[in-house]
Amino acid sequence: MKKYRIGIVGATGAVGQEIIHLLEKREFPIAEARLLASARSAGREIQACGNLEIVRETTPESFKGLDIAIFSAGSQNSIQFAEIARRQGCVVIDNSSAFRMDADVPLIIPEINGDEVEKHQGIIANPNCSTAVALMGLHPLHKRFGLKRFIASTYQAVSGAGAAGVEELDQQTRTALGVETSEPKGDSIFPHPIAYNLIPHIDDFREDGYTKEELKMRNESRKILNLPSLEISCTCVRVPVYRAHSISINAEFESTVNVPDARDALEGSPGIELWDLPNAQRYPMPINYTEKEACGIGRIRVDHALKNGLALWVVGDQLWKGAALNALQIAEVLVERKCLRFM
């Protein structure tokens, strides 16, 4: 079996660490795992794919000889280095928002539009975490009924803000319980206390009152589903949950809907679990979907406010399906379809 040289940009971050874990878990054929990060992290030693690897500073020379580079170090790093990597014949899978809406860059969820990988010219974008989780639930229903519009409210875990977000929730919780009295270290990640609170604010606000995070759901969903006029309204909320995003969706479809047909469309669809027995108190929750590859779907019911509408609840690990896992699945499709070469 052929093996591949993979670079991980942002290897010491939350998503980078999950990529390393999943490379091992899914037994991706690795010839080299090249760990790249900032100068501050260079020199650290990390176990990766059976070897003790030394983290290197990301430079223009970092990508020589690589087959694939997975970027998880923010938009600025992607803008700075992705094109350099591409010119050296390395396929870039980018977790940032830098290239998602570029018309020449495929935006991929493999279970939904995996065929698009064959159109890449060296850069492939990973969708935003909440978009990925939401569309895992909506796509099978779209195929059955024809999606017309949807309204989403997201309940996003603090790990979506990185390791520092998790640390902030932990510290604030310990302080609130009287376990810890020390002052927080450094600036706060969130604009308000997150422990025992909800913050209806993720990313920067625009003049129309929506945040950039909310518009990602609209713009990225349109591109992934190839529905440029799809009507979407979204409210994003940060919640005091460590890991896994939850999304409440009210969707309207072109054709008549019913719950049995909706369940039939969802059952057996790749990458999802139907977990919908509300009378037995069985429905997806973040605690059940942490470090789980599938997204859970439940609370399926006919919507009382929308014509041909369904209400549903979707939960998924945003560090996995919303980032690391989805990126690795893209790499697996590239290998399976033998479409790494583009120059």
Residues labelled as active-site residues: 129, 245
Cα distance between residue 194 and residue 155, in whole Å: 13
Token pair belonging to 339: 């479409």
What is the β-pairing status of strands 309-316 and 245-253?
antiparallel
Q: How far is CA 68 from CA 33, 183, 303, in A?
A: 10, 42, 44
Contact (CB, 8 A) for 52 and 45: yes
> Who contacts 113 (Cβ-Cβ below 8 Å, separation ≥6)?
106, 107, 224, 225, 226
Q: Where are the beta strands (DSSP E) in the chain?
A: 4-9, 30-37, 45-48, 51-54, 56-57, 68-71, 91-94, 123-125, 147-156, 231-238, 245-253, 272-274, 295-302, 309-316
Residue with tokens 């697996």: 332
Helix (H, G, I), strand (E, B) or coil at 316: strand
Contact (CB, 8 A) for 217 and 234: yes
